[in-house]
Every structure is written in C-alpha cells, then in structure tokens.
C-alpha cells in the first residue's frame, strides 16, 4: 500500500485532483467529507461542537449550520483551535478505519486540507501539493464560490501560506491555469504513484 497525502490551499483545485485520482482507482480518504460525517445530526461530534459553541451553530433542522460556525472560527484563531480539537481526532480515527480496509497494492490518497498546518507530512510515503498563486485562488473563491473578498481572504489566512505547503511537497501539481491543463499533470502523477505502489514503494 502506498500512502499519499494530498493537500492544497482553499481554491487551489485539490478537490478536482482527488476526484480524478479516485476515478482512476485510488482509494480516496477525504478529510473534508469525513469532517462532515463526524458532526452529522445525532453524532457525539455534533454534541461536542454544540457544547463548545452553543445552539447558535445549529440549523432549525438540528444539522450543523456550517456558515454560522465558519463566521465564528475563521476570524478567531483560538475558536478555530477549539473546533479543531473536537473534529480532528474524530476525522483521524475514521480515516484510519477507511485506510485499514484498503488492499496491499492500493494507492491510498488521503485528502487533507490542513496537512502542512498540522505537521502531518511524515505520516505519508509521499506528499502531493496542488498549488496556485494566491491571487488566482482568491479570484476562484469570489467568482466561482460566491464568497466576498473579505471572507475569502479570511479563509486563506486561516491556512498555511504557499511556501509552507510547498516545503512539505514531494510532488507539486501546478493548477494556476485553465482546468484543461490539470488532467494531464494528474494523470502523470497517477502513473508514478501506481509504479511506486507496484514496486512496494
């Protein structure tokens, strides 16, 4: 099994890269999806979030109001750290379960947005960073995701800087241009990962 850590700043295109890799056969462990799963209605994770942040982070249907919670944590490092202390251990445990179910020759891609921030690079055989300049990412967040510029900048500021992410990269995928240029790069990386997995890393 080849364990790959995939990361990239918000707006860099990491989700598209993980989608492509999964479509070609990678076992994808998506930390964002798992982070939603562990705070779904009725879970101990959601109960812990409400205990920490109050009923104001719930929607009327009892689900987590992610925009309301985001408004609290993304402008306050201490509150963000409190949220991470609840969610990260739950995500880590669920990720380990999914990885344990993979086969010995599989390429397991762990999609981890905060890989650099949390010093997790050493956990993987290889770290792939999806990179794009800050101004490109900002434009995507405002134009494609409908964020205000202020909100987009706050989200970006809550993550590691570009240099910090690139410092932990074994492979860098440049997604600064049009989407059409992304797939050939990812395909080439996938072939390398398959070769390494077949060779026993």
| Consecutive H or E run containing 184 | helix 182-198
What pLDDT does 201 receive? 58
* Residues 88-98 pLDDT 10s: 999 989 988 98
Weakly modelled stretches of the chain, pLDDT under 70:
201
What pLDDT does 43 receive? 96
- Strand extents, DSSP E, the chain: 2-8, 27-30, 107-111, 126-131, 171-174
What pLDDT does 139 receive? 95
* Residues 119-140 pLDDT 10s: 999 999 999 999 999 999 999 9
DSSP state of 91: H
> How far, in Å, are 58, 115, 124, 129, 132 from residue 153 at the CA level?
25, 20, 29, 20, 15
What pLDDT does 188 receive? 97
What pLDDT does 178 receive? 86
75: Cα separation from own chain's centroid = 19
Give the three-state DSSP class for 129.
Answer: strand
What pLDDT does 31 receive? 81
User: Which pTM was predicted?
Assistant: 0.77
What pLDDT does 32 receive? 83
């Amino acid at each position: 099994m080849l364990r790959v850590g995939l990361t990239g700043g918000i707006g860099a295109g990491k989700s598209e890269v993980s989608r492509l890799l999964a479509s070609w056969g990678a076992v994808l462990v998506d930390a964002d999806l798992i982070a939603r799963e562990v705070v779904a209605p009725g879970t101990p994770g959601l109960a812990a979030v409400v205990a920490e942040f109050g009923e104001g982070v719930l929607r009327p249907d009892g689900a987590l109001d992610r925009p309301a919670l985001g408004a609290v944590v993304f402008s306050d490092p201490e509150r963000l750290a409190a949220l991470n202390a609840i969610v990260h251990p739950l995500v880590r445990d669920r990720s380990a379960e999914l990885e344990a179910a993979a086969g010995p020759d599989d390429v397991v891609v762990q999609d981890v947005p905060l890989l650099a921030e949390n010093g997790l690079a050493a956990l993987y055989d290889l770290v792939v960073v999806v990179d794009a300049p800050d101004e490109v990412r900002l434009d995507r967040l405002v134009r494609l995701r409908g964020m205000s510029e202020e909100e987009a900048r706050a989200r970006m500021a809550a993550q590691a800087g570009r240099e910090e992410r690139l410092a932990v990269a074994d492979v860098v995928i440049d997604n600064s241009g049009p989407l059409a240029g992304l797939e050939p790069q990812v395909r080439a990386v996938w072939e390398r990962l398959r070769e390494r997995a077949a060779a026993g890393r």
